[in-house]
Structure 1
Amino acid sequence: MTNKILITGASGGFGALAVKTLLSQGHAVAATMRNIDSKNKAISEELSNLGAHIVEMDVTQEDSVNNAVAESIQLLSGLDVVINNAGVGVLGIQENFTIDDFKRLFDINVFGVQRVNRAVLPHFRRQGNGLIVYVSSILGRMALPFYGPYNASKWALEALAENYRIELSGFGVDSCIVEPGGYPTGFFNNLIFPSDTSRDEEYGDMVHAPKQAFDSFEGALAQNPAQDPQNVADAIANLISTPAGQRPVRTVVDKMGMGEHIEPYNQQLDAIHEGIFGAFGMGDMLKLKV
C-alpha cells in the first residue's frame, strides 16, 4: 500500500535514510528540513532526484510548520503518516546548561513535535485515520550522565506521545514510538553544549568526563558495525507497513546491549497501562478504532 508521508528533520541521519527507504518502497514523501537552498541544498537535491517533495520547515516556528504541512498535503494530495524525527542532542554536565539551553533543546525536541501535531491532526481527524511516528530514544526510557537535558526532552516526548495515543485512538489516529540506541550519524555533529562553564572548577576532574564518555562510546560504535542507522529507517518503514491496530506502541532499535534491557521495561509499562485503565473503565482508550 502506498502512503503519503511527511517527515521532519529529513536533512540527515535517520531522516534522510528513512526518506530513501520509504521512496524505495513506493511511498510518496514530503521531506521537510531547514535551509533547503543553502546549508542543506545538496541533500535536498539528492532526495528530490529520488522522488521526494522537498519542503522548507523550521519546527521552532509555528508559521513555518503550518505552511509546510499545508504545502505537503497539497503536494501529496493528502496525508497518511507523519514522522516526528527532527531533534538535537546535548553533551555536558547538567548543572552547566542554562535555562536558555533547555529552552532551545525543548523547542526542537518537544515543542516542535507539538507544533507539527497541531498542524496535521485536524486533517487526520477529518479523514478518520492516520499514523504519527515519534523518533524518541532509549534515553527517553532511562537516564545516562552527561546527556541530562536530552534525557529530559525525550522523557517528555514519550509522555506527549502516550497521551496522544490515548486521546486520539477513538478517532482512528495511531501513535507509535521508535526508540533507537546511539548510532553513528550526523546527530553527534550538532550537539548543544552548556553555555555556562563558570562552575567547572567545582566539579574537579569530572569536568572532563563528558568528552571521555563520548569518545568511549564513539569507539564502541566503531567496533560494532551491526549498529547500522539503516536499522532505524527500516523500523520506521516496518511500522508504516504494519496494518492499523497491529502496530506496537514502542519499537526498540539497538544492537549495543541496551535495547534488550529496555524491552521488558516497555512490556511492563504496557501491562501497567492495561491494568490501571481497565480499573477505571477506560480500557477502550488504549485500543485504536479501525
Structure 2
Amino acid sequence: MAQVIVISGAGSGFGALTARALADAGNIVYAGIRETTGRNAGRVRGAQTYAREHGVDLRTTELDVSSQASVDTAVARIVRDAGRLDVVIHNAGHMVNGPTEAFTPEQLAQVYDTNVLSTQRLNRAALPHLRGQGHGLVLWVGSSSTRGGTPPYLAPYFAAMAAMDALAVSYAAELARFGIETSIVVPGSFTSGTHHFASAGTPGQRRTRRSIRACWPPSRGGSRSWRHRTPTPRAIKQVQYRHQRALDIRLADIGTTLVQWDALRAIGRLPGASAHELAAETFQSDQAFGTLAGRLLAQGLIERRPGRRKRIEHHLTSAGTRVSEAGYPIAEEVLGGTLAPLTEAERATLLALLRRVVAEPASDAARAK
C-alpha cells in the first residue's frame, strides 16, 4: 500500500533525493519547500518535471518550518487532499561554519530554531492525525556528530543536532503507545549531492574572527584563515565511499548488507552485549541499532536472551554465525581491490600512518581484525 509522506526541506539535497526515491517506490510524496512561488519556484518546477517524466506521484507543498502557520496549513492540505498522513520526515536543517566564539547568541538561537524547533512545529501539526489513525512513522534525519566525529568550527550546528537527537529519542518512547514508530537516520558526511556546506552560514562578529585569525601562525601559503587551516579530507571520503559501496554490493551475494554484517560482527565479538553496548560498538544511536537488531531477529540471524536484572543480551544464531563468517573473505577481497593501486611498501606506509593518526598500538589492531 502506498504511504502518504511529507518531507521538510525537500527543495534540494537529501530532501529532494529522498522525495524522488520514495515516489519512485510508489508512494505519495509531498515535498515541503518554502517560497514555492518565489526564489524556489525553479525547484518546484523541477519536482513537477520529475513526476511527469517518471510517472510518479511527487507533489510539492509550501512548507516553511520556521512558521507554525505555514506548517499547519501544509499538513491540513495534505490530509485534505490525500485523506491521511502516514510518514513525517524531519529533513530541514541549516549548517553554519566558523569559529564558535564568533557566533552571536542570536545566531545560535537561529540555528537551534531551524534544526530543532522546526521539528516541534511539524510534529504539533502532524501527530494528532497519526495518533488518530493509530499508526505512523516519524523519521528524523540526524547527524553522525551525535555519535562522535566532531571536527572543529561546526559547533553550533552539532549542538543543535544533538538537541534534535535527544528530542527524537524522547519522542520515540512517548509515541510508541499510539502505534507511531520512530527512526533516526544518520547519513554521515557527503561531499556532493547537497548544498550543506555551500549554503552554510558564517559567524556574525567579524571583529572576533579577525582576532582569532591574528593569534594563529600563518600557514605555508601565508594565510591565517580558519578555512584554510581546516583540512577537507575529500580523497579519504571518496575512497571510503567507493570501498563501502563495493562491499555492500558484494555482501548482497550472501543475503546481507554492510550495516547488517557490521552488526553481526559486533555481536560475534561481544556475545551477550546489550543493545546500548552494541550501538556504541557500531557507531549508531540506541534507537537505530534497536531497529536494526529487530530486522536481524526477524531474519533468524540473532537471538535475544534475558540477562541479569533487566539486561537483554544479544547472541548470534548458527545462521548468523554463517553469514558473519562468510562475509570475511568477501571483505578481504574487496579491501584488496580498494588497495590494488598501492604496492606492498605503500600499504605498509599507509597502515603506519593510520596507526599514528588513531594512536592505535599494533597489538590492538591485530585483535580488531
TM-score (norm 2): 0.61
2:216 corresponds in structure 1 to 205
Give the Cα–Cα distance (whole angstroms) in 2 for the partners of residues 110 and 178 of structure 1. Answer: 15
Q: 1:36 to 1:279 in 2, by over 3 A?
A: farther
Other-structure match for 2:197: 188
Greater C-alpha Rg: 2
CA distance in 1, matches of 2:205, 2:239: 34
State the AA in 1 paired with 2:90: N
Task: Tell me which of 232, 237, 258 is aligned to 1:216.
Answer: 232
1:234-267, Cα deviation, whole Å (9 max, x unpaired): xxxxxxxxxxxxxx9xx9xxxxxxxxx9653437
* Cα distance change of structure 1 residues 28 and 161 upon mapping to structure 2, 3 Å threshold: same
Q: CA deviation at 1:109?
A: 0.3
Alpha-carbon separation, structure 2, partners of 1:67 and 1:107: 19
Q: What are the superposed Cα offsets for residues 167-199 of structure 1, whole Å, 9 maximum, x if unpaired?
A: 111111111001111212112121011101222
Q: Structure 1 stretch 182-191 or stretch 102-111: which is displaced more?
A: 182-191
Identity of aligned residues (%): 32
Give the secondary-structure state (helix, strand or coil) at the position aligned to 1:134. Answer: strand
Q: Residue 134 of structure 2 aligns with which residue?
A: 128
CA distance in 1, matches of 2:66, 2:122: 10
Counterparts of 1:248-267 in structure 2 under 5 Å?
264-266=282-284
Deviation at 1:76, TM superposition (A): 2.1
2:151 paired residue number: 144
Structure 2 matches for 1:77-156, cutoff 5 A?
Answer: 77-142=83-148, 143-156=150-163
2:15 equivalent in structure 1:
15
Aligned-residue CA RMSD (Å) = 3.0
Q: Is the 8 A contact 1:146 1:210 kept in 2?
A: no
After the TM superposition, which of the residue ranges 32-41 and 84-93 deviates more from structure 2?
32-41
C-alpha separation between the residues in 1 aligned to 2:174 and 2:98? 36
Q: Which amino acid aligns with 1:195?
A: G
Cα contact 1:53–1:75 (8 A) shared by 2? no
SS in 2 for 1:139: coil
Between the aligned partners of 2:243 and 2:107, the Cα distance in structure 1 is 30
What is the aligned partner in structure 2 of residue 44 from structure 1?
44
**Matched residue, 2:30:** 30
Once residues 160 and 279 of structure 1 are traced to their aligned partners in structure 2, the CA distance between those partners, rounded to angstroms, is: 28
Name the SS of the counterpart of 2:206 in structure 1. Answer: coil
Counterpart for residue 173 of structure 2: 166
Q: How many residues matched?
A: 246
- Taking a change above 3 Å as real, the CA distance of residues 217 and 5 of structure 1, as seen in their structure-2 partners, is same
Report if the CA contact (8 A) 1:30-1:76 is conserved: no
- Report the Cα distance in structure 2 between the residues aligned to 1:101 and 1:73, rounded to whole angstroms: 34
The letter for the 2-side match of 1:58 is: D
CA distance, structure 1, for counterparts of residue 286 and residue 169 of structure 2: 15
Contact 2:147/2:285 (8 A) holds in 1: no
Are residues 1:59 and 2:65 paired?
A: yes
Query: What do the CA deviations read for 1:59-98 (whole angstroms, capped 9, x no partner)?
Result: 0111111111111222222110000000011111111111
**Structure-1 separation of matches of 2:178 and 2:286:** 26
Q: Residue in 2 aligned with 1:258?
A: none
What secondary structure, in the 3-state scheme, does the structure 1 residue paired with 2:30 have? strand
By how many angstroms is 1:48 displaced?
Answer: 2.2
Residue 16 of structure 1 aligns to a residue whose secondary structure is helix
Cα offset, 1:47, TM superposition: 1.3
Considering Cα pairs closer than 8 Å and 6+ residues apart, tell me whether 1 or 2 has the greater RCO. Answer: 1
Cα distance in 2 for residues equivalent to 1:174 and 1:119? 17
Q: 1:12, 1:262 → 2: CA distance?
A: 31
- How big is the shift at 1:219? 5.4
- Structure 1, 5-14 or 196-205: larger mean CA deviation: 196-205
Which sections of structure 1, spanning at least 5 residues, go unmatched? 229-247, 252-260, 272-277, 284-290
* Structure 1 counterpart of 2:5: 5
- Distance change (3 Å), C-alpha of 1:31 and 1:97: same
